[in-house]
């Protein structure tokens, strides 16, 4: 007997929010929500609705927009899997911010080199003065 293929369907954050808001406003159970929004599915599996509700209550609407694929590292909680998808407008802002930080870093490195050279020149000049005073 062949196993039934499990489909991992992805739902948008807006859909998840609308489901949770409807559930909370109308005081629906998980099974009622499941029957209302997922009539094509046969076996009731409400775990994902519980997970959406927990995320919504703990983190708010923003939590449902986060990409949560992959397994977190045990030690520091950093994901090792595929990097999360970033919206294009956020990506452009990140690129601009990264460029600005690179330019700032180059400026600070040049300033640091200048101050090192200036310090070396001052020490050299003071050493010459002390040599003259000794003679």
Of the ranges 6-10, 21-25, 51-55, 127-131, which one carries the lowest mean pLDDT score? 6-10
Which is more confident, 87 or 30?
A: 30
Comparing CA positions, the residue from 19, 9, 8 lying closest to residue 56 is 19
Which is more confident, 4 or 38?
A: 38
Say which residues have a Cβ less than 8 Å from residue 20's Cβ, sequence separation at least 6.
Answer: 52, 53, 56, 64
Distances (CA, A) of 93 to 25, 39, 66, 107: 36, 41, 18, 21
Q: What is the pLDDT of residue 20?
A: 92
Q: What are the pLDDT digits (tens) for 48-69?
A: 889 999 988 888 888 888 877 6
Q: What is the pLDDT of residue 85?
A: 67
Q: What are the pLDDT digits (tens) for 75-112?
A: 666 655 566 666 777 778 888 899 999 999 999 999 99
């Amino acid at each position: 007997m062949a196993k039934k293929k499990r489909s991992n369907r992805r739902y948008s954050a807006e859909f998840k929010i609308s489901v949770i808001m409807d559930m909370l406003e109308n005081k629906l159970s998980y099974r009622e929500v499941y029957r209302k929004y997922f009539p094509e599915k046969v076996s009731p599996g409400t775990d994902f609705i519980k997970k959406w509700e927990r995320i919504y209550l703990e983190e708010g609407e923003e939590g449902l927009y986060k990409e949560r694929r992959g397994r977190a590292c045990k030690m520091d909680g950093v994901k090792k899997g595929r990097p999360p998808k970033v919206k294009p407008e956020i990506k452009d802002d990140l690129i601009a911010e990264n460029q600005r930080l690179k330019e700032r870093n180059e400026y600070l490195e040049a300033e640091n080199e200048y101050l090192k050279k200036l310090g070396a020149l001052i020490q050299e000049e003071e050493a010459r003065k002390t040599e003259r005073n000794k003679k």
